[in-house]
Amino acid sequence: MKQRRLLAVVVAIAVLSAAAGWFAGRSLKSSDEAQADVAAPDASLITVPVEATTLSSSVVTRGDVRYEGSVSIEVGSGFATSVVTKAPPERGAIVDEGEMFVEVTGRPLFVLQGELPMFRDLVPGVEGDDVRQFEVSLDRLGYDVGGIDGVYDEALEDAVSAFYTDSGYRAPGPSLEEQEQLTQAQEAVTQARNQVRSIQQSLNEASRPIAESTRLSLDQQLTFAQRAVDDLKADRDAAVVAATGIRDASVTARDEAKIASETAEARVAQAEAGTHPDTGVAPTPDELTELDDTAAAAVAVLVAAEETVVATQEALDVTPGQFERGIEDAETNLAIQIASRREALTPASTASLSASLEDANRSVVSAEERLKALQDEIGIDVPQAEIVFLPTLPRRVEQSLAERGDVVNGAVGRVSGVDLILDSSLGAGDRPLVSVGDRVVADDDDLGITLEGEVSFLADEQGTNGQGSNRFYMRIRLDSVDDDSDLTSNLRVTIPFDTTGGDVLAVPLAALSLRADGATLLQVERSPDEVEVIEVVTGLRARGSDLVEVRPVSAELAEGDRVVVGFEGPSLAERESDENSDRDGEEE
């Protein structure tokens, strides 16, 4: 809304200025000009095409690029003779935590992350914030320090030894024989402590009453075991009943077959005696044969029935035995569940465990005293001269100040943060247009550098951070870049604060005019002889440009349409006035 009102004022001023100039030009004429007007040539329009473009308004300033947090790496007096045996990394290299920066007289200088400078040698038994900081660094590197407690104990000593070994150096401290003595003493302490923990756990378990859930679980297991025995016996009894029924049915079938066989044989005997059992007369040969066949079939049925009786009796005899093994196993499991429940519910005696625990605690005290005595005599030290703490890592090598073979005492290099910072400033007029978080483009056409970033800090007062009394300091954090080259230089800084976000229709400011009711007008050349005046709504005006965004209210307007920005010769209005005068004269 502010830009729209500002644009309206600008358009109004432009129109008023043009009108004033036109009025002055019309009022102040020489006699030659007056004579020239009598035969003035036709006016021609000055037009320009409507553009489709992206408009933006930006603040432009300059700034210096630097790497954040530059510090010196120095060699202390802890080295006997400060001869560089391995040079620092080259400029542009990245140094991360745990890496060696330089080797002096065969000993390393490691870089670790921390706020507190290394101000003393770290030896077994010392305590303090510097020890805690060292523990945090080693823990971050993946070494087991046995808990971060600010105490240089055996766990931290082991971590220091592993750190030096992994880096290719022997940790300053005990000889191999002394290390073996320490290892044995540490193992003795560990074993004694493990023994105490094991006995204490057994004692706790023995003293702890059985949980209600455990008792219910034991009851349930006992119930399931009893149910399994009962179910198997029930299955056995049911199987015996079923087998008995089958055997009885086969006996009945055999008895019926025997009766049928005897009946058939009696009929054959009666027929052979001369009387057919059904007709009462002598049987024919065919009838006698039929009776014999019937008797033979009845005998075969009887034989099969006898075999069935034998088979079903055998099945009945073996049926109970098929269940006996399962029943025995189920009864054994039931006995186990009964015994387990009884044992679980019977409180255990803890007298022997308590005595064992006292003995184990005395063994721990003895082992710890032995280890403490050895640690007081021997141990791994961390020399002050071999560690440098930096507040943030990784760092970029800004300058290498030593080469192999140099004798040094002091700085051997400078490192800075890997983040690129651009220091810039804003004038009082631009300060309200920029906010923290705004995206920024920093470039230099001659150097071929183009970087992006965002505003990370804006001063509220002028003259801070080394800026002039009329400038507001601005810090920009640039995005990371893959190029390792030195990017520190003075760059142009562009901060867009408004944009159309895409292509819009735009015309020069000179093409706009204001109507009496405040509407903005635009003259569009539709043909060589036709100019249409349309109403438009204005939008963003590009900073540093005369282009203005326009949107037609009702008429059509497209890219490439030509709009009037001025006239050569008499204006269109003058031509119309002259033509009207000529017509009036002809009519008279």
What pLDDT shows up at residue 54? 86
| Adjacent-strand bridge partners of 110 | 100, 387
Q: CB–CB of 111/393 below 8 Å?
A: yes
Tokens of 90: 């080259």
Looking at residue 100, its amino acid is M
- Cα separation of 471 and 531, whole Å? 50
If one counts every other C-beta atom within 10 angstroms of the C-beta of residue 487, the result is 19
Q: Give how far Cα 321 sits from Cα of 143, 233, 236, 327, Å.
A: 67, 11, 9, 10
Under-50 pLDDT residues of the chain: 1-40, 484, 571-573, 587-588
Tokens of 134: 């060292």
Q: Give how far Cα 346 sits from Cα of 69, 339, 420, Å.
A: 71, 11, 74
What pLDDT shows up at residue 375? 72
What pLDDT shows up at residue 460? 94
What pLDDT shows up at residue 459? 94
Cis peptide, bond prior to residue 320, ω within 30 of zero: no
- Cα separation of 435 and 95, whole Å? 34
Residue 270, H or E segment:
helix 212-272
What pLDDT shows up at residue 374? 80
Looking at residue 66, its amino acid is R
What pLDDT shows up at residue 138? 97
What pLDDT shows up at residue 4? 44
Evaluate whether the domain defined by 2-55+502-587 bears CATH number 2.40.420.20.
Answer: yes
Q: Say what the pTM is.
A: 0.42
Instruction: Tell me how many helices (H) and strands (E) the chain has.
Output: 9, 22
**Which letter, b or e, does each residue of 38-72 get, where b requires 16 or more Cβ atoms within 10 Å of its Cβ?**
eeeeebebebeebeebebbbbbebebebbbebebe
Q: CB–CB of 476/453 below 8 Å?
A: yes
* Residue 88 half-sphere exposure toward CB, CA atoms < 13 A: 28
Name the DSSP class of 68: S
What pLDDT shows up at residue 20? 39
**Rounded CA Rg of the chain:** 55
CATH class of the domain comprising 60-67+414-499: mainly beta
What pLDDT shows up at residue 344? 79
If one counts every other C-beta atom within 10 angstroms of the C-beta of residue 497, the result is 15
Decide if 2-55+502-587 and 60-67+414-499 have a common fold.
no
- Cα separation of 388 and 410, whole Å? 13
In tens, the pLDDT along 540-586 reads 887 767 899 999 998 999 999 999 998 876 544 455 555 555 555 55
Domain boundaries, the chain: 2-55+502-587, 60-67+414-499, 212-345
